[in-house]
Amino acid sequence: MKPIKSNLRLILVNMEITLKSLSARPTWLIDNTIVPLIFTLVALFLFYLAELDNFIPYAVFGSGIAGMWATTLFGAGNSLRVERILGTLEYLLICPTGLWKNLFGRALAFSLLGLTVFGQALTLAVFVFNVPIIVSNSVVFVVAFLLTVVSFVALGMLLAPLFIIARSAPNLMNSLETLILVFCGVTYPVSVLPPLFQIVSYTLAPTWGMEALRFTVSSICLDGIVLRNVVIIICLTFIYLIFSKKLVNSIEKKVRLKGGLVRI
Amino acid sequence: MRALVFEILTSYKALFTWLDKRTYFLVKIVIPFFYIAFFSYLGKFVAGAEGMKYAAFGNAILLMGLNTVAGVVISIGIEKTFGTLSPLFITPANRFRIFISRAIFHAIDGTFNVMIGLVYAILFFEVELSLIQLGQILLVSLLTSFTMMGYGLLFGSYSLYVRDVGMVMNAAYFILMFICGVNFPVESLPEYVRVLSYIVPLTYGLQVARAILSGDYITDCIPLLIFEVLWGCVMLIIGYFLFIYFENKLRRRGTLDVI
């Protein structure tokens, strides 16, 4: 019980410090929401022009989640890049609490900020495109939404080791951002993708999360399918978190042996 | 002339971080594919195969902006981050030469990006182009790259003044996705947004490229191309004077290296 409490406390403290350090530079939020906002506008406008019925599940939820992912990935990735530039990455590594908990706290902090981007998408949809947001089952929506956010955080944690060793983090962030958005089918169903891509899509937890979110605006009773999706998301999220911990520990060891951490 | 060529090549290679081959591969080959794929599949879901082709072609042409906008803004604005703005401004070197050398190779390289994008569009997203059409579109892309230089230099000059180059770069590049007819026709935008569309030279270049795609020849679009070139020159001149203005402002304030 004690280790769980202390680990949880560590993660929450990291989250708090990350959020406080961001408040020292409030323009960060504007900087990191410009690109997601434009993606949101393009998606919303495309659906608006096509006058499709599925505006909310795909355009609104999809573009909001896409923006949230972009904010989480760029925020967490950039924080490691800044540590590297400032020369504090090594101190992070030698900290006895372990790098993984530190990264997880940061990823949670940035995903929290990413929720503001989701809020932007909802605001644009309601006030600019005059689309009422009606959810048939709000409890299921909240559960599916939270699980989708956590699955993105877990996926981000799986990719985090790359930012520790990559010299060109911004370019890596750009490629990973759109790669995940393409495969997870955030603004379109996975069936639109070629069959080979679909196989990859179904190994990603956010794909199932997005599907569950879309069911919450459906008037048909799909509780069994939503439950199936929830179970798959939880299982995949746990797998990502376990693998990410092993990867971070392995990279930590290699980096200490090679001594090549700080190369800008 | 030799100094200018050396300056052009050095600023491209050093300031756009092309020293690392993996970075080059990521930015040139990997990222463009996923950007095109995202909007193409979105276009496919919204408007079928025609929607996919429209988005794939538009985003392939937009790739020139990676160099002429993002690249140029970084090449100018990153001097502040590196702390080399003061040494740059105390040199007696011709300001116009410094200004242009940051952009000129990006304009050529931007066309190379478009070529890669069009290959993806043809191979994966059902865009059909004959060799003659491809040649004409690449010519239009080269011209549009040069006209977009002015747009990039305009924002690059502004990036000297602000703290965050990345924000300026992202805003300058990604807004083109919305206003230039990349994913949907410019005519479908509200009138007050269309005003912005017609300020950007890429809107005209893309119109010409789409006309060639639908069967016209480049010679049929010469008036539009002439207007685009003239407008690009106007933006270049405005960008240059903005560069001088911000240089003088930063010198007076003593905030050349404040980040």
Say if CB A103 and CB A162 are below 8 A apart: no
Say if CB B111 and CB B135 are below 8 A apart: no
Helix, strand, coil % (nearest 5) of chain A?
A: 80, 0, 20
End-to-end CA distance of chain A: 41
Residue keyed to tokens 């040649």: B135
Q: Given CB atoms, is B46 within the 8 Å cutoff of chain A?
A: yes
Say if CB B150 and CB B236 are below 8 A apart: yes
Nearest by Cα to B143 from B66, B218, B238, B210: B218
d(CA B2, CA B122): 39
Question: Under DSSP, is residue B197 helix (H, G, I), strand (E, B) or coil?
Answer: helix
A window 50-69, beta carbon within 8 A of B = 50, 52, 58
Q: Which residues of A touch B39 (CB under 8 A)?
A: 42
Question: Under DSSP, is residue A5 helix (H, G, I), strand (E, B) or coil?
Answer: helix
Positive or negative CA dihedral for A149, A152, A158, A163?
negative
Residue keyed to tokens 């195969």: B49
Say if CB A32 and CB A189 are below 8 A apart: no
pLDDT of residue A263: 56
The C-alpha angle A36, A41, A46, rounded to 5 degrees, equals 130
Positive or negative CA dihedral for A243, A179, A193, B170?
positive
pLDDT per residue of chain A (264 residues) written in tens, 0 to 9: 667 788 888 888 888 888 887 777 666 666 667 777 888 888 888 888 888 777 778 888 888 888 888 888 877 777 777 777 778 888 887 888 878 888 888 888 888 888 888 888 888 888 888 887 777 778 888 888 889 888 888 888 888 777 777 666 667 777 788 888 899 888 899 999 999 999 999 999 989 988 888 888 776 656 678 888 889 999 999 999 899 889 888 888 887 787 766 654
Helix (H) or strand (E) holding B164: none
Q: Cα B166 from chain centroid?
A: 15
Residue B131: burial class (beta carbons within 10 Å; 0-12, 13-18, 19+)? exposed
Q: Given CB atoms, is B44 within the 8 Å cutoff of chain A?
A: yes
Query: How close does chain B come to A50, measured CA to CA in Å?
Result: 6
d(CA A123, CA B153): 34
Q: Which residues of A touch B47 (CB under 8 A)?
A: 46, 50
Q: Which of A52, A167, A181 sits opposite B38 (nearest CB)?
A: A181
Average pLDDT of adjacent 10-residue blocks, chain B of 259 residues: 68 60 80 92 92 95 87 76 74 74 80 94 94 94 91 85 77 89 92 92 95 92 93 90 85 72
d(CA B172, CA A167): 25
Query: DSSP code of A220?
Result: S
Residue A154: burial class (beta carbons within 10 Å; 0-12, 13-18, 19+)? buried
Say if CB A81 and CB A163 are below 8 A apart: yes
Nearest by Cα to B177 from B27, B63, B73, B71: B63
Q: Give chain B's largest Cα–Cα span.
A: 57
- Read off the tokens for A51: 């006058």
Q: Given CB atoms, is B18 within the 8 Å cutoff of chain A?
A: no
- Read off the tokens for B216: 């016209």
Q: Where are the alpha helices (DSSP H) in A87-168?
A: 89-94, 99-123, 138-165
Question: Under DSSP, is residue B163 helix (H, G, I), strand (E, B) or coil?
Answer: coil
pTM of the predicted model, to two decimals?
0.88
Q: Cα B141 from chain centroid?
A: 10
For the beta carbon of residue A178, count every other beta carbon within 10 angstroms.
23
With b meaning 16 or more CB within 10 Å and e meaning fewer, what string describes A31-68? bbbbbbbbbbbbbbbbbbbbeeebbbbbbbbbbbbbbb
pLDDT of residue A222: 64
Query: How close does chain A come to B42, measured CA to CA in Å?
Result: 6
Query: How close does chain A come to B58, measured CA to CA in Å?
Result: 13
pLDDT of residue B204: 95
Q: What is the pLDDT of residues A152-204, one digit of tens each?
A: 888 888 887 777 776 666 677 777 888 888 998 888 999 999 999 999 999 99
Q: Given CB atoms, is A192 within the 8 Å cutoff of chain B?
A: yes
Q: Which residues of B touch A192 (CB under 8 A)?
A: 41, 44-45
End-to-end CA distance of chain B: 34
Residues sharing a CB contact under 8 Å with residue B131, sequence separation 6 or more, in sequence order? none
Q: How far apart, in Å, are the Cα atoms of A129 and each of A55, A118, A136, A196?
A: 10, 15, 21, 35
d(CA A210, CA A217): 12
